[in-house]
């Protein structure tokens, strides 16, 4: 583990990926290419229940939600010699947390983000601090009632501190990794007084916020059972 932590470039043997899996990530050699790949990856609507895919499972199932996409971004960054850093964004209980991969260019931070809507996506590396980066998501982070719900952010967490078997090649859901990130120390973005003064997004903003890139598949209607009858079946 110590050797892996000090290794700048993630080798295939470090991540435990097959040649084909590694090659797919190796082509994503800039944050912009990683973001385009995640945008082109359909959203994981978790039709069969909640999931938390590893990098391998995302590549196999060809779908991802926010934290699953963040795992992919972190692995691709590591392969190309950038620290695989994730940030956890926490929110009010009425909403869902978010996870992003963060990177630096010079002294400024940017972010790679997998999301089905438009507002919570890529951030150019123009933010002078992680707090400033997190605040760039504040106005657009809202629940179904239009209430702004983003409350705190974590420090950037280096995924080399976690064995890749838990988040890169895990064949099961990576809930232990989720719990690790969710349990990091978080820093508040707004005070209690500021929270009370927040203005809900107006109806037009809420309507625009409903736009998604990958709509959820329509639910199948249950098949109608044939009506019971006492008539004898016809002989052929």
**pTM value > 0.85:** yes
From residue 120, alpha-carbon distances to 21, 125, 171 in Å are 27, 15, 28
How many domains is the chain partitioned into structurally?
1
Percent of the chain exceeding pLDDT 70 equals 90
How far is CA 79 from its chain centroid? 19
Residue 236 included in any domain: no
Q: Is 125 helix (H, G, I), strand (E, B) or coil?
A: strand
* 80/75 Cα distance (integer angstroms): 9
Residue 231 lies in a domain: no
225: pLDDT strictly greater than 60: no
Query: Is the residue at 222 inside a domain?
Result: no
pLDDT at 228 over 50: no
Task: Report how far apart, in Å, the C-alpha atoms of 102 and of each of 90, 94, 129 are.
Answer: 16, 25, 11
Task: Report whether pLDDT(233) > 50.
Answer: no
* Per-residue pLDDT reduced to its tens digit, 124-177: 999 999 999 999 999 999 999 999 999 999 999 999 999 999 999 999 999 999
Q: Are strands 85-91 and 157-158 parallel, antiparallel or unpaired?
A: antiparallel
Helices (H), 10-129: 12-15, 19-26, 31-40, 55-61, 66-79
Grade residue 6 by pLDDT with cuts at 50, 70 and 90: low
> Are residues 111 and 133 in contact, defined by beta-carbon separation less than 8 angstroms?
yes
For the purposes of burial, counting CB atoms within 10 Å of the CB of 104, is it exposed (0-12), middle (13-18) or buried (19 or more)? Answer: middle
Residue 216 lies in a domain: no
For the record, the structure tokens of 77 come out as 């960054």
Residue 114 lies in a domain: yes
Asked if residue 220 belongs to a domain, the reply is no
In a domain, 218, yes or no: no
Going by pLDDT thresholds of 50, 70 and 90, the confidence category of residue 222 is low
CB 65 within 8 A of CB 114: yes
In this structure, is residue 226 part of a structural domain? no
Domain that holds residue 150: 2-208
The per-residue pLDDT for range 96-105, each reduced to its tens digit, is 999 999 999 9
Contacts from 156-159 at CB under 8 Å and sequence distance 24+? Answer: 156/83, 156/85, 156/86, 156/87, 156/102, 156/130, 157/85, 157/86, 157/87, 157/88, 157/181, 157/184, 158/5, 158/83, 158/84, 158/85, 159/71, 159/74, 159/75, 159/78, 159/84, 159/85, 159/86
């Amino acid at each position: 583990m110590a050797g892996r932590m000090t290794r700048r470039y993630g080798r295939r043997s470090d991540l435990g990926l097959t040649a084909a899996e590694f090659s797919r990530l190796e082509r994503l050699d800039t944050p912009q290419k990683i973001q385009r790949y995640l945008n082109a990856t359909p959203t994981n609507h978790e039709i069969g229940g909640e999931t938390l895919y590893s990098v391998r499972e995302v590549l196999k199932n060809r779908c991802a939600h926010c934290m699953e996409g963040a795992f992919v971004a972190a692995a691709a960054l590591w392969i190309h010699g950038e620290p695989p850093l994730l940030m956890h964004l926490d929110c009010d209980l009425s909403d869902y947390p978010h996870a992003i991969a963060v990177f630096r260019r010079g002294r400024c931070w940017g972010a790679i983000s997998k999301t089905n809507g438009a507002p919570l996506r890529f951030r150019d590396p123009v933010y002078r601090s992680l707090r400033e980066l997190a605040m760039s998501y504040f106005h657009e982070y809202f629940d179904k009632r239009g209430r702004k719900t983003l409350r705190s952010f974590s420090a950037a967490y280096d995924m080399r501190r976690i064995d890749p078997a838990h988040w890169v090649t895990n064949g099961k859901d990576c809930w232990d990794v989720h719990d690790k990130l969710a349990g990091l120390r978080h820093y508040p973005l707004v005070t209690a007084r500021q929270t009370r003064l927040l203005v809900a997004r107006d109806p037009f903003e809420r309507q625009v916020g409903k736009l998604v890139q990958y709509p959820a598949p329509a639910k199948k209607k249950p098949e109608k059972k044939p009506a019971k009858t006492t008539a004898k079946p016809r002989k052929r």
